[in-house]
Structure 1
Amino acid sequence: MSSTTTLHVRPATLRDAKQIAELHNATVRDAFKTIAIDTPIPVVPVDKRQAYWREAIEYSEPQVHVAIDDDKIVGFVGFDRSRDKGTPPTMGEIWAIYVATSHWGRGVGLALWDAAREGLQEEGCAKVSIWLPIANDRAVRFFELAGLKREMSSAKTIAVGGVKIEEIRLSRTL
């Protein structure tokens, strides 16, 4: 971001779905390059991701906000109530948060986190959680700096396109 640009975060519109899908695919590739795994993560076709994000935006499940820099989407966050079984309705969750690698370390993630936190509080959530790959040191460090703590007993293995990823849940009070 240059000094003449202003980053702002706003709720996503249906017109944003394609840019969100393209950004999602690009950042998944870049984020998973930082994780020491031997098999590349398969990329979901843009049209399939676009359909997912269009539906999310249309029905607010999850709620989606985008970070804009110079009229370009440089990050997005999806948040809503927790999808984990047995959690109370006051537990929110960051379903997804991605920032273009060109904007890593520039405050975009923080702006998206702030928007999600405020949105969850408006929905009556008292706590928030996020599932992250344990090996994604950058993302884990970011959310720990935001005050989320690792729930060590939550560690699990998930399959992402044939690749096994170890995940852990982090949470905090809002």
Structure 2
Amino acid sequence: MARPDVHLARTDDAGEIARIQRYTWRIAYGEIVGEAALASLESEEVEGHWREAIEYPETDVFIATEGTFTVGFAVSGQAPEEDLADPEGRLPDDAGQFGLIATTLVEPRWQRRGHGGRLIAAAARALRSRGADSGVTWVAESDSATLSFFRSIKWNPDGMVRTLDTGERTVREMRLTGTLDLRVS
């Protein structure tokens, strides 16, 4: 069996990250976001955006590998105020202690092999090294697999929701929060 690993992405990983995003969104989120959103991921600019994210000093982009295959990725960094504010725009007293796990995707054929847990653990370590002690993420209400995963690491909905407009559809997301002191198996 090939050895799994998680490490910081390099700019030459951007193509694989874009490929995983395109493929996984088409399989897992196609009915949720609509064809126009999926088509936008086919642009050559998407790979460039991933290169910029990898190079951005305030963001950590991790990739999961199994042997020679890149199988998933996660993105983390300081949580922006808009991701922490309540509906009236008020921030929690400890807003500066929150990190954001913006994206975690594992290609469907590689799921249920621990890659998601390893990616989240790496992102949590990186956020703790940046001074965060709590994390936040947003998950589509209809994405039961991702919600179940985050609940398994004791990240739970905090009552906040937002609606994203994809141009064809709206996607309702729940905000989940939890500690960065994770015990992921």
Partner of 1:32: 29
The answer on 1:173 being equivalent to 2:179 is: yes
- Closer, same or farther: CA 67–144 of 1 in aligned 2, 3 Å: same
Partner of 1:157: 163
**TM-score normalized with structure 1 length:** 0.90
Which runs of structure 2 are paired with 1:87-106 in the superposition (5 Å)?
88-106=95-113
Partner of 2:37: 42
**TM-score normalized with structure 2 length:** 0.85
Contact 2:33 2:171 in 1 (8 A): no
Contact 2:33 2:168 in 1 (8 A): no
**Unaligned residue ranges in structure 2 (runs of 5+):** 83-90, 181-185
Shift, 1:162, TM fit: 2.5
Contact 1:7 1:69 in 2 (8 A): yes
Find the partner of 2:48 among 47, 51, 54: 51
Contact 2:157 2:175 in 1 (8 A): yes
Shift, 1:39, TM fit: 4.2
Shift, 1:46, TM fit: 4.4
Partner of 2:6: 9
Deviations 1:14-73 (A, max 9, x none): 00001100111111111115x6x5944622224222111100111134210000112121
Secondary structure, aligned partner of 1:94: strand
Q: CA RMSD in A?
A: 1.7
Partners in 2 of 1:58 and 1:38 — Cα distance?
28
**Percent of aligned positions with the same letter in both sequences?**
26
- Closer, same or farther: CA 116–41 of 1 in aligned 2, 3 Å: farther
Letter in 2 for 1:13: R
Shift, 1:106, TM fit: 1.0
Partner of 1:109: 116
Contact 2:33 2:170 in 1 (8 A): no
Secondary structure, aligned partner of 1:130: strand
Question: Which 10-residue stretch deviates more, 79-88 or 142-151?
Answer: 79-88
**Unaligned residue ranges in structure 1 (runs of 5+):** none
Contact 1:131 1:167 in 2 (8 A): yes
The answer on 1:140 being equivalent to 2:147 is: yes
Equivalent residues, number = 168
